[in-house]
Amino acid sequence: MSLQSPIPILGLFEAHLCVSDLDLAIRFYGSQLGLPLARVVRERKVAFFWIGAPRKAMLGLWKTATISDSTSAHLAFEVALADLHAAPSRLRNAGITPLDFAGAPTEEPVVMAWMPAASVYFRDPDNNLLEFISILQVPARPDLEVLAWSEWIRVTRQGWRLRFH
């Protein structure tokens, strides 16, 4: 059943993840990723972080008794393209392994050419898959699937069109 008059969705305001160790998660998302802590409610075993400017988007982290090894959530954080290119080294400096689309360690972003968007992936202490993503301001190339940034630039020769903002 759908609404008779759809309500336009403007964006994602909040997302929630289950974590096994709330204090470890607070350090990871706060100290290592640099998200501003909004509030910790110890009696409810939850921490809230702002994503971007306060009151624009929020991440909730809930401590659970057990987390299955097969359970994994995925969140994508929008970042500027220049920051995305710096992400692999900055993640490594924070003790986090940057990953490509297949989950292998990487030194550069990957491009999902169908969107097109560039991304760098990484995991939190509970194995949730996190992503830094930048939407590229060039025509999509769905025929190219997913490829490393350097290969995408070589194949498309579109790199000169991108603006680092």
Q: What is the pLDDT along the chain (165 residues), one digit of tens a residue?
A: 444 557 677 778 999 999 999 999 999 999 999 999 999 999 999 999 999 988 889 999 999 876 666 557 899 999 999 999 999 999 999 999 999 999 999 999 999 999 999 999 999 999 999 999 999 999 989 899 899 999 999 998 755 455 443
The model carries a pTM of 0.80
Q: Where in the chain is the domain with CATH 3.10.180.10?
A: 12-65
pLDDT at 128: 93
pLDDT at 163: 42
Q: Which fold has domain 74-165?
A: 2,3-Dihydroxybiphenyl 1,2-Dioxygenase; domain 1 (3.10.180)
Angstrom distances, CA of residue 67 to CA of 42, 72, 78, 100, 117: 19, 9, 27, 25, 31
Rounded-to-integer distance, Cα 87 and Cα 102, Å: 17
CA dihedral 50, 98, 85, 132 (to 10 degrees): -30
Q: Classify domain 12-65 by CATH architecture.
A: Roll (3.10)
pLDDT at 73: 87
pLDDT at 8: 73
